[in-house]
Amino acid sequence: MGKDVIVACDFSSAEAVYSFLDKFTGKKPFVKIGMELFYAEGPDIVRQIKKRGHRIFLDLKLHDIPNTVKKAMAVLSGLDVDIVNLHAAGTTAMMEAALEGLTRPDGTRPLLIAVTQLTSTDQESMERDLLIHEPMAEVVIHYAETAKNAGLDGVVCSPMEAAAVHDRCGRDFLTVTPGVRFAEGDRGDQKRVMTPAEAKKIGSDYIVVGRPITAAADPVAAYERCVAEFTD
């Protein structure tokens, strides 16, 4: 899979996401379906968007005992999604079980990537609530390495971390990076942001872009600009 822009479809209903996707009459964007839409509409929303010809990153961030995650991943694999994810904090046994569950009888499977530390967790809350006292940058890289050693395909990380992840885990280990904004755009609640062109330069494999596209006056133009900046 090459470099691409993934559009975060953070809508709360099927109608809202269909009316957004209906605007794209040319290239069908790679879409991210998160918890909000999945819990509102159930697995059928995944089948319907897939049927419309989109590739799908199903962002449900699984984290449970290995057996439960293995069985849940087998169900998600049956939905024919392209990328799924989990929390690396579930440890190696959970990640290995997830891979087993995802692998279809014919040997194919969706890509599996890990969340390291959520970007909403900072050094202070990690030390206070999780009793982890290493520097955040090292924790993130260690989780990425653990995910790689378990056989995963990559991590979701801040664009600021992508280069370090590639240095430690290799160029083929995927970095999927949210927190992308156009140079003149509204940052919203994202604190550490990069433009699509900067994310390309530091080696992100996929950028996840939500509001700069979904809330744009012309979402198709915003998407095309994003693709041009990131891939050209």
Which positions are catalytic? 61
CA dihedral 160, 164, 6, 56 (to 10 degrees): -140
Shorter beta-carbon distance to ligand C5P: residue 11 or 173: 11
Q: Measured from the CB of residue 135, what is the shortest distance to ligand C5P in angstroms?
A: 18
CB under 8 Å to 82, separation ≥6 — which residues?
1, 30, 55, 56, 57, 110, 111
Shorter beta-carbon distance to ligand C5P: residue 55 or 211: 211
Amino acid at residue number 7:
V
Cβ–Cβ < 8 Å for 59, 35: yes
Shorter beta-carbon distance to ligand C5P: residue 23 or 71: 23
How many other C-beta atoms are found inside a 10 Å radius of the C-beta of residue 29? Answer: 24
Q: Measured from the CB of residue 179, what is the shortest distance to ligand C5P in angstroms?
A: 6
Q: Measured from the CB of residue 105, what is the shortest distance to ligand C5P in angstroms?
A: 32
By CB under 6 A, name the binding residues for ligand C5P: 8, 10, 34, 118-119, 156, 178-179, 188, 190, 208-212
Shorter beta-carbon distance to ligand C5P: residue 208 or 227: 208
User: How big is the CA angle at 167 (ends 161 and 171), to the nearest 5 degrees?
Assistant: 100
Q: Measured from the CB of residue 107, what is the shortest distance to ligand C5P in angstroms?
A: 30
- Residue in the shown chain whose Cβ atom is closest to ligand C5P: 210
Spatial CA neighbour of 4 closest among 163, 196, 216:
196
Spatial CA neighbour of 194 closest among 13, 111, 202:
202
Cβ–Cβ < 8 Å for 220, 23: yes
